[in-house]
A and B are shown apart, each in its own frame.
Chain A
Amino acid sequence: MRKLSSILKAVCVLALASPLALAWAPPSWLPGVLAPSFEAALQASFRQLSVTLAATLAVTTLLTVALGYLSVLSMRFGRTGASILNSVESVPSILVALFCYAPVSGYLARHASGASQTVSLAVFILAAALTALPEAVRSVAIPLGDLYHRKYSLSFRSYGFTKRRILAVLMGSRGMRNTLKRVAAAVVLKTLVLDCSFGFIIQLGFGSYGTPAHASPGALIAAHRDALFDGGTPILFWLPSLLLVLISLSFLLTLGDRKEVAA
């Protein structure tokens, strides 16, 4: 019964996150009930979002595991790292993103090609990783430190294992794997919110789809905000919004998935 509910939950999460996969489907698969230009923009923005989420997730998870591990391994590194990440965390994430874009804004304005898109993506990943890292590293370092210092260090150090090896084993334990899964869900959720709100603000400010060559569902929503007024087509505003809500819900479901630990 429990297995069935787990399968149903997994199916539900996949179904909710499916707009990200559908964005990669050939245009002929789309129903074609909306204007072709809108459908193309919708698909492009969600395609861009899926790339941003996947790339940010990969970079941030890698950095989180490395920094979380090193923070517990070396107390000095942990304290210094925590101070830096805390100061980054004190700045609103949208400002961090704008700050990261500032040095390359000239380059982005001059290039509207693939190079601009790549640089834009790289800068956004950097900004998203910076804003997600403090909480992610803390979420890994605290339980890992607790497992080591309060539980496993005495016995395992007395057997002759090094701290490095004990931490590596604990990092791969079921409890830590579940923690990492929740951290990953939190990272993609945070990135999604940042990407859309950033795209929304840029669209309002500059009137184009996000920064040069950085299409975002948030920018698409901002571009079609007039659709809510008389004579407009509200679905142009609500469709991307609804899809974003569904995707967010799938991440929230993963976030709330706390595994039961045997007594």
Chain B
Amino acid sequence: MNVVKAPPVSCAGFSLALGDRPLVQKLDFAPAHGSSSVVIGQTGVGKSVFLKTIAGVLPARTFRLGGSLQVHGIDAYVNGRKTGLEAWSRIMRRGLVFVPAESAQAMNPALTLDHNLKLLAPESRAAIERRLTTYFGLEFGAFARLYPDEVSGGELQRITLMILLSRQGDLVLLDEPTVNLDRQLRKRFIDFLNEEILPDQEKTVLMASHDLDFIQALKLDHAWALENARLAPLEELPRATGFEKRTAKKSGEPGLVIEHLSQRFFKRGIFGERTFAAFTGLSITFDRSTIYGITGPSGCGKSSMIKAILRLLDGTKGSIVLDGEDLVRMKPRERGTDPSAFLPFRRKMAVVQQDSRFAFFPDQRIRDSLKHIARAQNGRGTLDPEEVQRQLTKVGLASAHLDVHPRSLSSGEMKRMDIARALAAKPEVLLLDEPFAHIDFETRTQVMRAISDYMAESAAILIVVTHEDFDLRYFVERSHDFPELVGKVQGR
């Protein structure tokens, strides 16, 4: 006898708001059991917040809820209030798997990876080991005794993804699962989802993503668009399109010349400190007015190269020449302050780091943070409020976004805010580390246009570390694979 199972998620007049800003309004939504759906939408519309609400991990202080939501037929929210421990314990026992965007955060840093596995998915060890080997080329046994901070970010993300996705549960919630995966891993992850997760008729998959290339490669049943606080079904997925790039301003000035650069790190072990090389033998010239793309697997040293150029690391050998001066010789060590001779070069460089949530003071309005930053950068590169406003408009943000705390903005909005800040500083060297992660494709072209407009006005040196095909296709002019560039990557 066929038993019709209750929808794994069922919303009735469900609403969700961040302060006065509605994210979801009066939503009636009930994906069928065993189906797979994706929610797409522009950055900051509330896709991730919606998934976190279903997973029960939303900070209730910050958001206002209304209406009702059931998970596995059990009341999770009634009249906008989260139900008690007993109801949520039953939901968890029925099986709810939530994979956050920063999936590695699911790991307990005080436990080894083996203990984390025992805690999160004790019944699925064999499947996890097989899947890690088959799809990600990792032997779990080699990592089992290590702590999360002893493996590279990419390895940790792969292990965490497989542990979380191998947990037993009928409802799987995936929040931007490809954000930090490099191109090769993304392809393997697509194979994994298509072969092992999506065909499983016992699992209902609900995913939030802005990565159109990724979504199009998946065998999904339904697609929904979250726009203006309404969730509407999509007949077909939108196509990613590029944009017409302005010609960059030309300059005869030399660019950034890197020769025989190597970066070593110190690691503490049982027998004292030992060093390992993030990369060695990097020699490359970054000309002005060209958009350089640096690709490569996670953990290969791309972000370390950016930090080395910024002179924020010890253990750098070789030379980085800008405007005829060797930055390594000028500042061989990082001691938390810059020698006065280096300060003019500090003002010439700007970076957008991978996680832009940490680009502004945590407890200050962004406008106040910018004032402090401007004061720290006095002289050339001072942040002119009008210039900040101009760049904000270009990246699709309003001045109202300056009057909030960083925690009130979505990851994508923070990213755009950080890019606007970097462009407003008018740097000669602009270093962007995964600048478009968390930004949907439509907004991404707008941000790319803002950056290329800057390149048309200023003959800057632009280096972009990226994993995404879209960026390489539409934005980057000259791309380099980092492992090929350095020849040989040491360490693990």
Binding site for B on A (CB under 8 A): 2, 73, 151-155, 157-164, 169-170, 172-175, 260-263
Contacts and interface: CB of A to CB of B under 8 A. Distances in A.
10 contacts: A151-B355, A154-B312, A155-B353, A157-B312, A158-B351, A163-B335, A163-B337, A175-B362, A260-B60, A263-B59
Most A Cβ at <10 Å: residue of B49, B62, B312, B358:
B358
A159 B350 CA distance: 8
Q: List the 7 shortest-distance A-B pairs measured between CB atoms, nearest first.
A: A163-B336, A151-B358, A262-B407, A155-B359, A160-B376, A262-B62, A162-B337
B363 A158 contact: no
A162 B353 contact: no
Given A2-B61, A154-B307, A262-B59, A160 B346 contact: yes
A163 B355 CA distance: 19
A158 B362 contact: no
Nearest to B102: A263
Given A151-B355, A155-B351, A262-B408, A162 B336 contact: yes
A210 B350 CA distance: 63
Contact of B59 (A154, A158, A261): A261
Contact of B358 (A155, A159, A172, A263): A155
Contacts of A170: 362
A77 B277 CA distance: 26
Contacts of A160: 338, 343, 346-347, 376-377
B351 A154 contact: yes
Contact of A173 (B62, B338, B350, B363): B363
A173 B355 CA distance: 19
Contact of A153 (B312, B377, B407): B312
Given A160-B346, A160-B347, A263-B59, A169 B361 contact: yes
Given A160-B377, A164-B336, A263-B407, 5 more contacts: A155-B351, A157-B334, A160-B338, A162-B336, A173-B362
A170 B361 CA distance: 8
B327 interface: no
Interface string B297-311: 000000000010010
Q: Could you tell me the dominant secondary structure of chain A's interface residues?
A: helix
Contacts of A155: 351, 353, 358-360, 418
Contacts of B464: none
Contacts of B407: 261-263
A263 B55 CA distance: 13
B373 interface: yes
Nearest to B336: A163
Interface string B342-380: 010011011101010111111100000000010011000
B52 interface: yes
A162 B336 CA distance: 6
Contacts of A172: 363
B61 A262 contact: yes
A154 B373 CA distance: 13
Nearest to A174: B363
B58 interface: yes
Contacts of B362: 170, 173-175
A2 B312 CA distance: 43
A163 B314 CA distance: 15
A159 B58 contact: no
Contacts of A151: 355, 357-358
Nearest to A162: B337
A262 B360 CA distance: 15
Contacts of B59: 260-263
Nearest to A172: B363
A45 B288 CA distance: 75
Contact of A263 (B52, B312, B334, B351): B52
B377 A159 contact: yes
Given A73-B336, A260-B61, A263-B59, A158 B361 contact: no
A158 B59 CA distance: 32
B310 A158 contact: yes
Contacts of A260: 59-61
Nearest to A165: B376
Contact of B376 (A153, A161, A174, A261): A161
A152 B337 CA distance: 15
Contacts of A161: 376
A154 B334 CA distance: 12
Nearest to A167: B336
Contacts of A262: 59, 61-62, 407-408
Nearest to A158: B351
Interface in B245-284: none
Contacts of A163: 335-337
A101 B88 CA distance: 54
A158 B49 CA distance: 31
A155 B432 CA distance: 11
Nearest to B346: A160
Contact of A159 (B336, B376, B408): B376
A260 B59 CA distance: 7
A169 B368 CA distance: 13
A172 B372 CA distance: 15
Contacts of B62: 262-263
B265 to A, nearest CB: 12
A49 B456 CA distance: 71
A263 to B, nearest CB: 6
